[in-house]
Amino acid sequence: MSAGRIDLCRIIEFPIVADYRGNLTFIEGSKHVPFEIRRVYYLYDVPTGATRGGHAHISLEQVIIALSGSFEVIIDDGYTRKNVFLNRPHYGLYIPPGIWRELINFSSNSVTLVLASTLYDEKDYVRDYKTFKKMVRKGFWDESDKKVTEKISKMRAFK
Ligand code: TYD
């Protein structure tokens, strides 16, 4: 597989219902994110200087949202690295399978919400960067990338 897989990672803008009582944002599975949401988890009380992530997934898809505060997500497709800054709760970063990610520079009191396509399964993790690169070079995610490309091309939230 060639470079360019990184472009499968996308910023999604979620709807905002603005109101003088405060804003409301909602997220529906398979509509605003390209998968059914099977798990939600959140990171909070993250100490200054901590790094989270540091792995890729075999088949899990995720959307990462800065519900409160800010942080950066380093995404890496095995060829290209990008830093994505998240600081608003109506934006999410979609990460397909086979992308290495690290979360850094958490602001104090940040809350990171993660929407995930599968239940927790340690076997789905690739926690060694060299192994990840080898898998990319062998085309491990080629089929998955094709499916992701096809489905996100049909989604309004991605246009
Ligand atoms: P991990 O995914 O490595 O955290 P991060 O990528 O944010 O640094 O998970 C840390 C620990 O938490 C690990 O022992 C597995 C456990 N865990 C669960 O039990 N369920 C979950 O849904 C998640 C995300 C993690």
What's the pLDDT score for residue 150? 95
Residue to mutate (ligand 1; options 65, 120, 123, 127; most atoms within 8 A of CB):
120
Instruction: Give nearest CA residue, ligand 1 atom 18.
Output: 120
CA angle 36, 40, 45 (to 5 degrees): 155
What's the pLDDT score for residue 154? 87
Structure tokens at 92: 């999410």
Does residue 159 surpass a pLDDT of 70? no
Show which residues are catalytic: 55
Q: Which residue has the higher pLDDT, 13 or 4?
A: 13
138: Cβ–Cβ under 8 A, 6 or more apart, which residues?
A: none
- What's the pTM value of the predicted model, to 2 decimals? 0.96
Ligand 1 and 133: CB distance under 6 A: no
CA angle 111, 87, 14 (to 5 degrees): 95
Does residue 2 surpass a pLDDT of 80? no
Residues 9-58 have pLDDT tens digits of 999 999 999 999 999 999 999 999 999 999 999 999 999 999 999 999 99
Residues 7 and 21: their CA atoms lie apart, in Å, by: 37
CA angle 25, 40, 120 (to 5 degrees): 160
Does residue 156 surpass a pLDDT of 80? no
Q: What percent of the chain has pLDDT over 90?
A: 94
Residues 78 and 107: their CA atoms lie apart, in Å, by: 27
What's the pLDDT score for residue 35? 98
